[in-house]
């Protein structure tokens, strides 16, 4: 059994985004975590919010952190 944590948020500027990515990469490297930076022109994210489908279709950008080798990482 595994736990998946998804975080969604909004930053004030692209500068803040790149600062967040830099801080996250540094944290991952210091803790010997693998990470994967991604940018997709189109992605379907199938989600549920308050028991109802709440899908997203569109561009995505971000960083996926892999804390431990035994953690599940599905794409």
Strand, helix or coil for residue 64: strand
Taking CA atoms, 44 is separated from 23, 29, 58, 72, in Å, by: 27, 29, 7, 20
Residue 68 has pLDDT above 60, yes or no: yes
Q: Distance between CA atoms of 16 and 42, rounded to whole angstroms?
A: 23
What mean pLDDT do residues 54-69 have? Answer: 86
Residue 66 half-sphere exposure toward CB, CA atoms < 13 A: 12
What mean pLDDT do residues 52-66 have? Answer: 88
Residue 75 has pLDDT above 60, yes or no: no
Q: Where are the domains of the chain?
A: 35-70
Regarding beta strands 52-53 and 56-66, do their DSSP bridges make them parallel or antiparallel, or are they unpaired?
A: unpaired
- Look at residue 58 in the predicted model and tell me its pLDDT: 92
């Amino acid at each position: 059994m595994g736990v998946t944590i998804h975080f969604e948020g909004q930053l004030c500027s692209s500068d803040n985004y790149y600062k967040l990515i830099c801080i996250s990469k540094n944290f991952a490297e210091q803790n010997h975590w693998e990470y994967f930076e991604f940018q997709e022109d189109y992605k379907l994210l199938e989600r549920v919010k308050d028991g109802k489908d709440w899908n997203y279709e569109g561009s995505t950008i971000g960083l996926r952190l892999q804390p431990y080798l035994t953690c599940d990482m599905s794409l």
